[in-house]
Chain A
Amino acid sequence: MRKSQKAKSLFNLSIIGPAIIDSLKKLDPRHQIKNPVMFVVLVGSILTTGLYFQALSGHGEAPAGSILAISSWLWFTLIFANFAEAMAEGRGKAQAANLRRTRRDTPAKKLSNPSYGSSYEKVSATTLRKGDVVLVEAGDIIPMDGEVVEGVASVDESAITGESAPVIRESGGDRNAVTGGTRVLSDWLLVRISSNPGETFLDHMIAMVEGAKRQKTPNEIALSILLAVFTIIFLLATITLLPFSVYSVISAGHGERVTVTVLVALLVCLIPTTIGGLLPAIGIAGMDRMVQANVVATSGRAVEAAGDVDVLLLDKTGTITLGNRQAVAFIPNQDVNIKSLADAAQIASLSDETPEGRSIVVLAKKKYGIRERHIHELDAKFIPFTAQTRMSGVDLGDGRQIRKGSAEAIEDYVKKFGGSFSDDLKSNIEMISKNGGTPLVVAEHKHVLGVIQLKDIVKGGIRERFAELRRMGIKTIMITGDNPLTAAAIAAEAGMDDFLAQATPETKLKLIREMQSGGRLVAMTGDGTNDAPALAQADVAVAMNTGTQAAKEAGNMVDLDSNPTKLIEIVKIGKQLLMTRGSLTTFSIANDVSKYFAIIPAAFVGTYPSLKALNIMHLATPSSAVLSAVIFNALIIIFLIPLALRGVPYKPMTANRFLRNNLLVYGVGGIVAPFIGIKLIDMILAALRLVQ
């Protein structure tokens, strides 16, 4: 959870130790039955162990030693697969333990009346129920998830987010949600508890990372079906080899039928044990990567859907543009010097502490060298912005009155004194709007001096990220309350595919529904309560942790960093999850080619000596050929654990190129690698004289 842990190595001793014990515990048939592929391996292991004891008693189908060698490596295959799962779970458990540490039995101040100053009793957090109101003061830990009903306070949420900077939580608006286990640093809050014990956000996170509530996702189910079918096909192909072999021995008149041990070995080598063994680990590791990206998903299904998203709805403000507009140009009226416009604009903004106001002062200074003066030295009176006047400005000591504000407000203002807007000015105002800017008109008494062009500043690098998304096949749509002209200009500047202007909760919902009925999968981020309906409708809905409880409940993921561009990362993690499964499935099946060439000649060369010709790897002896294939099959699971846990790397490129690259690596590689591996193992076995 904490940043320092992100760098933690894959193989951590404190995780490996318990994982080894766990992998033995997981040999329990009740656990194995959940994974049909590995269950077949378990049955094979038990069967060959039985054959080993039979051989010990002197009635075996083959020398006891060679049966034991194969049998033990079959058990290792199982244990290695269990180990992969245990490793993935271990990493999750380590994170969960960190989270649990924050959940001490916190004392809570339960209020009798939901108002500040009323009496409270000290109770344990575990006794709190939904609807109770508690008082949390500086230094207290917030006992449970809830909504702030009164007060403002800074809260340290590092326990959950890993972010050390405190955040502000206040009643009303979109910053009223607090999380149990976080600490109030200053001031006080009245919090209405929003969940019962065991259902809090923290509980949810712990359950997720521990994989306790992990259910198979639809895609995982489809893959399991495919793997089960391959298992059945190979089961048939190997079981029928017994009668085929008996028939061949009878008709050839010599040789011995293939042993059950060799058939079991062949079966285990053929069925997709590599993917079958690593499948649970891949799923758990996917969740784990999500948590490391500081995103908590409510289900694996959501993570998987993220990989499929093809439309992304993003709020303009804060996501695409910096939260504030900035002044970028002064456009004077025909009869006005640009410097005097800049000067007037700067004076009018000196006391305006809004980011827009500051940016005007800075622009005037930078572009026209107008020194920043102090409002007192001008003997000026600041006229602040109000919702009624919709303008601000200064009344100077020399009687000058300078105002700046929206075009409508200033027009009313100058009309009062008998002034008017020239056509030229009107066209300037229109031009600015058209280009996605906001015009601020500056007037001195009845004289209009000109216009300040304010502009949304598109975040650096965002264009490239959207281009990346486009390469991934994802369409981006900007959502904004701006008018269509402004929206179009900003969307174009940010490189977005489309926009929804003058958005309301209803139009957002409608847009999502339209997209979905067109067959698209929609992702969106949101934080406000008014986003909740749209979040509930979207396929992948990421709520900001700073957002309201309603937003969090409507979404299926929560981003602890409250970073709207996190969606891009979420999409990547979702894709990686699918890709890792697909690549290892291909690898697993491609492996079978070489295993046939190792085992089939070995199994039947006694009956048909001509089959020597198929031993293209020139493996030393039939028994070393079979054993080498089984050992390779077991070891490859261990070798691929890091890949399963880290995931196949994802780079945005077209689907076709991606498929080609992965096919080369995992398909062609999957065919070639075992030829080399099995040959090497055979050479080692022969050199050490471990087999006859």
Chain B
Amino acid sequence: MNWNNVIQGLIFLATVILLAKPLGIYMARVYEGKPAGLNVLLGPVERWIYRLSGIHPETSMSWKGYAVAMLLFNSIGIVVVYALQRLQAHLPLNPMSMSGVTPDLAFNTAVSFATNTNWQSYGGETTLSYLTQMVGLTVQNFLSAATGMAVLVALIRGFIQKKVETIGNFWVDLVRSTLYILIPLSLILSIILVSQGVVQTFKPYEKVTLLQPVKNDNGTVVQEQVLALGPAASQVAIKQLGTNGGGFFNVNSSHPFENPTPLSNFLEVISIILIPAALCYTLGYMVRDKRQGWALLAAMLIIFIPCLWSCIYFEQQGNPLFNSLGIDQKATAFQPGGNMEGKEARFGIVNSAIWAVATTAASNGSVNSMHDSYMPLGGLIPMWLMQLGEVVFGGVGSGLYGMIAFAIIAVFIAGLMIGRTPEYLGKKIEAYEMKMASLMILIPPALVLAGTAVSVSLHQAKVSIFNPGPQGFSEVLYAFSSAGNNNGSAFGGLSANTPFYNIALGLAMFFARYWLAIPILAVAGSLSRKKIVPVSQGTLPTHTPLFIIFLIMVVLIVGALTFFPALVLGPIVEHLMLHHS
């Protein structure tokens, strides 16, 4: 670990923590309907939207009503994105004359974007028209993120309210998330990104003459190349901020038109965990106990930092097989050293590793390097962060509500250990909440393990694996870990655009999203009905270092115990083989 790595890591963390508080307060005030700074400007727009769509912002919904609205709204999103892809050949804004997308790929992409996963089976610049990218994907980037935030806000209301049957109005939460939070932040970010060279145009792709002609495999000399263009900056901004991650281009943020400079890289990687981190503060602010928000943020950071450190460490160590070949893998002023395979020279080891860890800790899924090319343990970290259930930052909204589900389990066990039936943030945790929280921790591993098991058993699934052995196993495990936790990043090395993977991963994404959101809304409903238990000396405080450590242990133990055998057969054995051969 050299000083460059340490300093860059620290700057990244410090920026996130510094921004979390002001943004957290801003979001809390938005959700509480208090003046937050942009009301003069956006208030009339908000009211106009309500009038236009016939929304009565003051009516609060039961949890079932809220869930139905959420599901209905998301299904419409899936149908629209599906239809846009299928019909894009006949629709405007298609300068490159892209043909209609196949049904299985269109299904996969539609589900992927509605569920805030943004798994890319498609290659943006070779598959989708500008219209599909803008009206389909970018719109879903906003709305899927806003859906996650709305569900979280409903859950927070469950802790604040007492003895009421309703959990808020889905449409209001959705509109406020989009209008006051996602749109202004995206606007700022996309303008800065454009200044760095991210493209934003309706022009068709351009042909340019190569400065240095190359000879391809069959001996022909290539003189020119096609540069894919499009309205990228506007989509890239929300893709980073809304933990979406679906790139405008196939190679995502390693593409020079999507992430051209170190500054654009810094801003994009900050944007990955900015809102998830700030939402912790929002929670503390809204429950009138800021320590609770800090505690959850601390728990996330305490898992995040060692993962970040390990990933940088393993990548900086480089490949042991290269050492025997006498290749210098030391970092010097002239070379980044370490394992640079699959990484962009302009980002180097540390910015690639920070991105890989941030994008998998938060369920963003955008990439600026090839995770498949990481060292076995360097690649294990991003995979495992997803397998933890996307609760270390996680998706906007969904990460924090996932962490709260773990906190419910943690207070339950801790409560038993001190001889008290548990309570969290003033609400008693009983059998019903436990049932729902249990679903939350059960469903993602079930999807990941079952999906991987089926895929390594079926012939039509196995042919997609490029590398046999543990690496190939890791590729499949990674794909399902990503889809089953709504992350969306890909290890690579697996040709996933086949009917089998499109449908299997599509289903995994669908269930991972809604089978978790519905139980959480049910918890919100059940908590809203309860009274608030006053704090006494016998109450287990949930903001202390001890509880934070206990919560981390619960997250890690569940994650580790569930996936240890699978990880052993993938990255761990690969690591051992690499070092013992």
Contacts and interface: CB of A to CB of B under 8 A. Distances in A.
A225 B537 contact: no
B546 to A, nearest CB: 5
A207 to B, nearest CB: 25
A579 B413 CA distance: 9
A413 to B, nearest CB: 51
Nearest to B577: A610
A270 B561 CA distance: 9
Given A229-B438, A236-B450, A472-B537, A610 B417 contact: no
A223 B416 contact: yes
A132 to B, nearest CB: 43
B421 A578 contact: yes
Interface in A601-646: 604, 608, 610-611, 613-614
Interface in A42-65: none
A385 interface: no
A335 to B, nearest CB: 53
A507 interface: no
Contacts of A222: 412, 429-431, 434-435
Chain B CB count within 10 A is highest, among A247, A578, A658, for A247
Which of A242, A245, A473 has most chain B Cβ within 10 Å?
Answer: A473
Nearest to B535: A473
Contacts of A94: none
Given A582-B417, A611-B573, A660-B546, A473 B473 contact: no
B309 interface: no
Which of B438, B531, B540, B562 gathers most chain A CB within 10 Å?
B438
Interface in A236-269: 236-248, 251-252, 266
Interface in B410-427: 412-421, 426
B538 interface: yes
Contacts of B456: 243-244, 246-247
Contacts of A577: 419
Nearest to A232: B442
Contacts of A228: 438
Interface string B478-512: 00000000000000000000000000000000000
Contact of A225 (B431, B470, B566): B431
A304 interface: yes
A600 B568 CA distance: 8
A470 interface: yes
B419 A576 contact: yes
A225 B438 contact: yes
B538 A655 contact: yes
A617 B150 CA distance: 49
Nearest to B435: A225
A581 B546 contact: no
Given A244-B569, A251-B473, A578 B416 contact: yes
A308 interface: yes
A236 B416 contact: no
Contact of A610 (B454, B468, B561, B573): B573
Contacts, number: 216
Contacts of A473: 536-539
A154 B566 CA distance: 73
Interface residues of B, number: 66
A656 to B, nearest CB: 6
A223 B413 CA distance: 9
Contacts of B534: 518-520
Which of B426, B441, B453, B532 neighbours the largest number of chain A CB atoms within 10 Å of its CB? B453
Contact of A237 (B415, B454, B544, B562): B562
Interface stretch (B21-29, B48-56, B141-149, B550-558): B550-558
What's the dominant secondary structure at chain B's contact region? helix
A219 B533 CA distance: 17
A540 to B, nearest CB: 13
Contacts of A518: 531, 534
Given A225-B434, A473-B538, A659 B418 contact: yes
Contact of A244 (B421, B445, B566, B580): B566
Contacts of A219: 416, 421, 431
Given A237-B562, A579-B419, A663-B550, A226 B576 contact: no
Nearest to A474: B538
A304 B420 CA distance: 9
Interface residues of A, number: 77
Contacts of B473: 244, 247-248, 251
Interface string B245-278: 0000000000000000000000000000000000
B469 A251 contact: yes
Contacts of A663: 417, 546, 550
Contacts of A239: 453
A304 B421 contact: yes
Interface string B420-464: 110000100111001100100110011001101110110000100
Contacts of B553: 667
A248 B574 CA distance: 12
B407 to A, nearest CB: 14
A575 interface: yes
Nearest to A247: B456
Contacts of A266: 565
B564 interface: yes
A251 B465 CA distance: 11
B421 A596 contact: no
A237 B431 contact: no
A656 B544 contact: yes
Interface string B136-177: 000000000000000000000000000000000000000000
Contact of A218 (B431, B438, B537): B431
A656 B572 CA distance: 37
A82 interface: no
B231 interface: no
Contacts of A234: 561-562
Interface in B512-567: 531-534, 536-541, 544, 546-547, 550, 553, 557-558, 560-566
Interface stretch (A70-78, A424-432, A585-593, A680-688): A585-593
Contacts of B457: 243, 246-247
Interface centre among B413, B417, B453, B565 (most CB of A within 10 A): B417
B551 to A, nearest CB: 12
B495 to A, nearest CB: 17
B418 A614 contact: no
Contact of A608 (B420, B435, B449, B573): B573
A189 to B, nearest CB: 43
A658 B540 CA distance: 9
A576 B446 CA distance: 35
B409 interface: yes
Given A236-B445, A310-B536, A520-B533, A244 B419 contact: no
B124 interface: no
Given A222-B412, A266-B565, A582-B418, 13 more contacts: A222-B430, A233-B442, A240-B566, A518-B534, A519-B531, A579-B417, A579-B419, A582-B417, A585-B416, A590-B557, A592-B561, A608-B576, A659-B546
23 contacts: A219-B416, A225-B431, A229-B438, A233-B562, A236-B562, A237-B566, A251-B468, A308-B420, A470-B537, A475-B536, A519-B532, A578-B421, A586-B413, A586-B417, A593-B560, A604-B568, A608-B569, A608-B573, A614-B568, A655-B538, A655-B541, A663-B417, A666-B417
Interface of A: 218-219, 221-223, 225-226, 228-229, 232-234, 236-248, 251-252, 266, 270, 304, 307-308, 310, 470-475, 517-520, 574-579, 581-583, 585-586, 589-590, 592-593, 596, 600, 604, 608, 610-611, 613-614, 650, 654-656, 658-660, 662-663, 666-667
7 closest cross-chain pairs (CB), A and B: A473-B538, A582-B416, A575-B419, A610-B576, A582-B417, A473-B537, A247-B456
Interface of B: 409, 412-421, 426, 429-431, 434-435, 438, 441-442, 445-446, 449-450, 452-454, 456-457, 462, 468-470, 472-473, 531-534, 536-541, 544, 546-547, 550, 553, 557-558, 560-566, 568-569, 572-573, 576-577, 580
